[in-house]
Structure 1
Amino acid sequence: MSGYTREPATPMEIGPRVLPPSDQWSPALAVPAPVCRFENFLGAQRAGALLEYAIARQDDFTAGTVLDPLTGQVSRKGRDSLVLPVTSEVFSAHLADCLPLVQELLDHRAALTRSLTVLTAHGEGGHFGIHTDASRVRDASTALSAVYYLHRTPRGFGGGKLRLYDTVVHEGRARPAESYRTIEPEHDTIAFFPSSAFHEVVPSTCPSGRFSDHRFTLTTWISDGESAAGPQDRRSRVARWMADAAEGTRPLHDAERDHDGARPVPLPPSGPATRLRTNRS
Structure 2
Amino acid sequence: MKGQQFVVNVDNKLPVHIVWDKFLPDDQNRKCLDMFLEKETEFVASKVNHGQLDGERRRSKSYTTSSDVKSLLEAALQPTLPELFSGLRTGQPEKPKFEFQSVAHQDGDYYRVHIDTAMRQTGARRLISCVYYLHSHPKAFSGGHLRLYSINGKTHVDIEPQNNQIIFFPSFYPHEVLPTCVGSKLFAHSRFSIAGWINKHL
Q: Please give the alpha-carbon distance, in whole angstroms, between the structure 2 residues aligned to 1:144 and 1:89.
A: 18
AA aligned to 2:150 is D
Judge conservation of contact 2:45–2:53 (CA < 8 Å) in 1: no
- Counterpart residue number, 1:58: 40
Judge conservation of contact 2:147–2:158 (CA < 8 Å) in 1: yes
AA aligned to 2:52 is V
**Aligned equivalent of 2:125, options 118, 131, 139:** 139
Q: 1:100 to 1:212 in 2, by over 3 A?
A: same
**Aligned residues: CA RMSD:** 1.7
**Aligned equivalent of 1:192, options 157, 168, 177:** 168
Partner SS state of residue 155, structure 2:
strand
**Aligned equivalent of 2:151, options 167, 176, 198:** 167
Q: TM-score, normalised by structure 1?
A: 0.62
AA aligned to 1:158 is S
Higher strand content, 1 or 2: 2
Q: Which runs of 5+ in 1 are unaligned?
A: 1-28, 169-176, 227-281
Q: How does 1:1-281 map to 2 (within 5 A)?
A: 30=12, 32-67=14-49, 74-76=52-54, 77-86=56-65, 87=67, 88-111=70-93, 113-134=96-117, 135-136=119-120, 138-140=124-126, 143-168=127-152, 177-226=153-202
Q: 1:31 to 1:178 in 2, by over 3 A?
A: closer
Q: Which runs of 5+ in 2 are unaligned?
A: 1-10
Judge conservation of contact 1:31–1:167 (CA < 8 Å) in 2: no
AA aligned to 1:209 is K
Q: Please give the alpha-carbon distance, in whole angstroms, between the structure 1 residues aligned to 2:184 and 2:43.
A: 19
Q: CA deviation at 1:184?
A: 1.5
AA aligned to 2:191 is R
Judge conservation of contact 1:164–1:197 (CA < 8 Å) in 2: yes
Q: Please give the alpha-carbon distance, in whole angstroms, between the structure 2 residues aligned to 1:178 and 1:108.
A: 22
Aligned-pair identity (%)? 28
| Count of residues in Structure 1 that have an aligned counterpart in Structure 2 | 184
